[in-house]
């Protein structure tokens, strides 16, 4: 690498490291004159890097937005951290393939001294299943869908999309999008209906965004003020593939002590009885989890869950009888 080329990369790295630099500061860091800095800035501009300059006592240089994506200049620790992060992200539905492509590009340009470090870390890390709360496969989300949702949220613009419900054809929806939340290897969107004012949570894998509306809205605060908590409550009530209503022979406070808030909603009936509204991706998952409550209960709905519990009960009984024989 020539001295000039190396200095240009160093200058670009400095410009990326903070919002702005004065000419004398850059000259001191690179041990050159301010005239050389001006010439190097012109060279970067000729290569389509948007270096902006301001005059005056507080003037200086900064890397502007737009133009061609400049090289990503990272120090050793940053490069290793990004590589490890991208390896972990390859298991996230919706961004896995994009992460693999980005990781391949990063590994191609890693300096030789860093490659053994990254390879050493990769060779001793195994990725365990991230979704161990359900027996259903992870839904895939098109990265373009995530991009469209995130762009609408960032711009505070109405989002128009078709939504695939379980029991009906795709339904056109128009909402004010507020948050994109990744939870249990699924992507959820917290949004508000601008006409009814009702808040809801949508699964991103069921959304097909239409053309951008370019219509801005005035953001509001979700009920309760916590987007994550709101999402978990909504998913517990209506966000799963199947739902169940159970009458539990215990106080509501005792049931809440035994479950995660995302598992369900608990309604108090009396001092020693409550109703648990819960859901999952399958009835098998519900059957397994309600046995862990450690409390007596009856199934109010659906009737299919009662049939499944009989199958489980017979299986456990045979296992117990075989062990005592």
CA-to-CA distance for 110 and 254, rounded, in angstroms?
54
pLDDT of 178 strictly over 60: yes
How many Cα atoms within 13 Å fall on the side-chain side of residue 73? 14
Q: Which pLDDT score is estimated for 324?
A: 66
Label residue 54 left, alpha or beta by phi (over 0 means left) and psi (-120 to 50 means alpha).
beta
pLDDT of 304 strictly over 60: yes
pLDDT of 137 strictly over 90: no
pLDDT tens digit sequence for 246-270: 999 999 999 988 887 667 788 899 9
Given a contact cutoff of 8 angstroms between Cβ atoms, the answer to whether 279 and 243 are in contact is yes
H helical segments located in the chain: 3-17, 23-30, 34-46, 76-89, 96-109, 115-124, 143-155, 227-234, 252-256, 283-290, 303-324
pLDDT tens digit sequence for 207-230: 999 999 999 999 999 998 988 888
Q: Output the CA angle 53-55-58, nearest 5 degrees.
A: 100
Q: Is 322 exposed, middle or buried (0-12, 13-18, 19+ CB in 10 A)?
A: exposed
Q: Which pLDDT score is estimated for 320?
A: 87
Q: Model confidence at 72, in pLDDT bands (50, 70, 90)?
A: low
The model's pTM is: 0.56
pLDDT of 1 strictly over 50: no
Mean pLDDT score across all residues of the chain: 82
* Residues 150-155: contacts with CB under 8 Å, at least 24 apart: 150/180, 151/212, 152/177, 152/209, 152/212, 152/213, 153/177, 153/178, 153/179, 153/180, 155/216
Q: Which pLDDT score is estimated for 89?
A: 65
- Structural domains of the chain, with CATH: 3-63 (1.10.10.10), 76-124 (no CATH), 143-224 (2.30.30), 240-322 (3.30.70)
Of the candidates 193, 215, 97, 94, which has an alpha carbon nearest to the alpha carbon of residue 145? 94
Q: Which pLDDT score is estimated for 234?
A: 80
The reply to whether omega before 128 is within 30° of 0 (cis) is: no
H helical segments located in 18-142: 23-30, 34-46, 76-89, 96-109, 115-124
Q: Which pLDDT score is estimated for 134?
A: 56
Q: Which pLDDT score is estimated for 88?
A: 64
Q: Which pLDDT score is estimated for 315?
A: 92
pLDDT of 70 strictly over 80: no
CA-to-CA distance for 203 and 235, rounded, in angstroms?
9
Higher pLDDT among residues 67 and 59, named by residue: 59
For the chain, how big is the Rg over CA atoms in Å? 28
Label residue 46 left, alpha or beta by phi (over 0 means left) and psi (-120 to 50 means alpha).
alpha
- Taking residues 180-195, report their average pLDDT: 87
H helical segments located in 110-206: 115-124, 143-155
CA-to-CA distance for 111 and 311, rounded, in angstroms?
59
Q: Which pLDDT score is estimated for 152?
A: 93
């Amino acid at each position: 690498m020539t001295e000039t080329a190396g200095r240009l990369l160093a200058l670009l790295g400095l410009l990326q490291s903070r919002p702005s630099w004065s000419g004398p500061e850059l000259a001191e860091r690179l041990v050159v004159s301010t005239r050389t800095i001006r010439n190097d800035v012109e060279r970067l501009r000729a290569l389509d890097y948007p270096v902006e300059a301001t005059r005056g006592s507080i003037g200086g240089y900064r890397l502007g937005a737009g133009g061609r994506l400049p090289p990503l200049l990272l120090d050793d620790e940053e490069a290793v951290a990004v590589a490890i992060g991208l390896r972990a992200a390859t298991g996230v539905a919706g961004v896995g393939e994009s992460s693999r492509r980005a990781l391949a590009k990063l590994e191609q340009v890693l300096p030789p001294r860093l490659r053994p470090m990254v390879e050493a870390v990769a060779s001793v890390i195994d990725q365990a299943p991230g979704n161990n709360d359900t027996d259903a496969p992870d839904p895939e989300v098109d990265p373009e869908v995530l991009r469209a949702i995130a762009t609408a949220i960032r711009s505070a613009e109405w989002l128009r999309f078709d939504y695939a419900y379980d029991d009906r054809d795709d339904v056109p929806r128009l909402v004010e999008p507020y948050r994109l939340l990744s939870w249990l290897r699924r992507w959820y969107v917290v949004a508000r209906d601008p006409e009814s004012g009702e808040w809801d949570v949508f699964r991103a894998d069921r959304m097909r965004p239409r053309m951008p509306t370019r219509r801005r809205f005035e953001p509001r605060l979700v009920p309760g003020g916590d987007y994550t908590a709101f999402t978990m409550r909504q998913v517990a009530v209506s966000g799963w593939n199947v739902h169940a209503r159970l009458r539990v022979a215990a106080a509501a406070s005792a049931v809440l002590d035994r479950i995660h808030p995302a598992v369900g909603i608990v309604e108090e009936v009396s001092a020693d009885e409550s109703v648990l509204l819960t859901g999952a991706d399958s009835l098998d998952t519900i059957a397994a989890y309600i046995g862990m409550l450690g409390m007596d209960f009856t199934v109010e709905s659906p009737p299919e869950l009662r049939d499944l519990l009989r199958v489980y009960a017979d299986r456990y009984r045979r296992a117990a009888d075989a062990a005592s024989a």
